[in-house]
Chains A and B, each alone.
Chain A
Amino acid sequence: MLRQSLITLGQYFRLLGLVFQKPTKQRLFMRQIRDEIYYLGVNSTAIVAVISFFVGAAVTAQIKYNIDSPFMPDYALGFATRKAIILEFAPTIIGIILAGKIGSHIASQLGTMRISEQIDAIEAMGINSANYLILPKIIACFIFCPILIMLSIVTALVGGWTIGVNVAGLTTYQYIYGIQFEHNSFDLLYAIIKIVVFSFLISSMSSFYGYNVKGGALEVGRASTKAIVNSSIAIIVFNMVLTQLLIA
């Protein structure tokens, strides 16, 4: 078990060695990054916005329920919502959602290309297929995931406002005062650092499982599942490590 895990880890780093090389054609590479931003990033905006809105609303409702006390100022609801969303919900939960959405897309795309000999065709032409196929995906995730996190924070705060004003009896002024109260820019940087690390884990691990598929359609499905499960676990582990490193 341990031996197999070490072998897999070695194969993963070996693949990364192939991925991080100079692209064959710079112009083509930029075009691929643009396409991947669209497929992986832009296509994920709707799901991120919808989930963030409702989770933001639920977080606000939970906080209201748990800290409802005459000793708590009204604006505390906005303040606590902001902290929960920026520090934990946006990077981690959205990271796990993206592991499902982007991870399955990457693993199944590369897996299908592997079993239908498309990757062999690229290799036979003398092109570094790992670099050609995987590096644009990793860079696209680096570029677009922080944008998705900003979108997630904004929509979650709007969701929180909807509940805060319509259910919890806050005024818009109180809610906005709360989310601006003791604002710390580092919180946003912290969320961005987290999502950049998570986006690397999602794109590289999913690519690893998809690129190394052997067999047929069943194995593509298995690779996709492995990509989602293992990148979600990696996100949770790295979330703890980064939290300790950045704010503990």
Chain B
Amino acid sequence: MIDIQHVNKSFEDKQVLFDVSIIFEKGVNNLIIGQSGSGKTVLMKCLLGLLTPESGKILFDERNFVGADTKTLHDVRKEVGTVFQNSALFDSMSVLKNVMFPLDMFTEWNYIQKAERAIDCLEQVGLENVEDKMPSDLSGGMRKRVAIARAIANRPKYLFCDEPNSGLDPYTSSLIDDLIAELTYRHKMTTVINTHDMNSVLKTGDRINFVYKGHIAWQGTSAEILSSGSTELVEFLESSELTKRLLHKN
């Protein structure tokens, strides 16, 4: 479980996050949704330790990540898997070496053990016989799958996905959603997904947090989102043709 308590974050004189408090539960898909510029990515970067909040706490199973000593930071980060918006695969490494990278860094396993785990992770994301390919040889969807395989290689307790569907066609996008949800349930991970894909929200949103101008404006589930009663959320949902139709149908 990740417990965010009263987090504030500014850049020079512009405050981006205002007293944000959220609980991300274990074994479910926790979604952060909101318009571009609402503070979603800043919140995600605070969770990853790439940005430091001015105040508040981010507790990873009772361990505060904000202002933590190097050992705690290191210990928590070893338990985190991340899927970046652009996949962020290492161009100079083959697919197999990309997936093996966290194992190279954090385990004392021999090459065969690491390769077996990497191939197993690639199979879990539905990729076979791509081990020797370079990231540049793969399609966008395949790159995303490799990024997911790399993120789960070290069996993380926490999985962060920053807009995992961006740039993908609806079919591949749906497959990626299913894959993340399935891995979350199977490995009992605390998964946090930053998205503005309404299809993903309705399909996999076990817990949804709507960020509006740096505030948490609404929290609920995909079953409750269409009857939220929040003016800002309704306005956001109406920007998508899919949710707009569903809203009017309701």
Contact = CB atoms under 8 A, between A and B. Distances in A.
B244 interface: no
Given A24-B105, A28-B104, A127-B105, A120 B77 contact: no
A121 B88 contact: yes
Interface string B49-84: 110000000000000000000000110111010101
B102 A125 contact: yes
Given A24-B105, A25-B105, A121 B77 contact: no
A124 to B, nearest CB: 4
A112 B135 CA distance: 14
B111 to A, nearest CB: 11
Given A25-B104, A125-B77, A126-B73, A118 B91 contact: yes
Nearest to B154: A125
Interface residues of B, number: 23
Interface residues of A, number: 15
A120 B104 contact: no
Nearest to A119: B88
A24 B106 CA distance: 9
Contacts of A68: none
Contact of A121 (B49, B73, B84): B84
B1 interface: no
A117 B84 contact: yes
Nearest to A31: B104
A118 B105 contact: no
Contacts, number: 52
Contact of B50 (A25, A112, A124): A124
B73 A120 contact: no
Contacts of A125: 77-78, 80, 82, 101-102, 105-106
A121 B102 CA distance: 10
Contacts of A120: 48, 50, 84, 88
Interface in A104-146: 112-113, 116-118, 120-121, 123-127
Contacts of A124: 48-50, 77, 80, 82, 160
A28 B103 CA distance: 11
A116 B50 contact: no
Contacts of A112: 91
A121 B82 contact: yes
A73 B157 CA distance: 79
A118 B88 contact: yes
Contacts of B84: 117, 120-121
Contacts of A28: 104-105
B124 interface: no
A24 B77 CA distance: 14
Contact of A123 (B50, B90, B160): B50
A194 B238 CA distance: 66
B204 to A, nearest CB: 22
B85 interface: yes
Contacts of A118: 88-91
A25 B77 CA distance: 16
Contacts of A126: 73-74, 76-78, 80
23 contacts: A25-B104, A28-B105, A113-B90, A116-B86, A116-B88, A116-B91, A117-B84, A120-B48, A120-B88, A121-B82, A121-B84, A123-B48, A123-B49, A124-B49, A124-B50, A124-B80, A125-B77, A125-B82, A125-B105, A125-B106, A126-B73, A126-B76, A126-B78
Which 6 A-B pairs give the minimum distances between C-beta atoms?
A: A126-B77, A117-B88, A121-B88, A124-B82, A117-B84, A124-B48
Given A117-B85, A125-B80, 9 more contacts: A113-B90, A120-B84, A121-B82, A121-B88, A121-B90, A125-B102, A126-B76, A126-B77, A126-B78
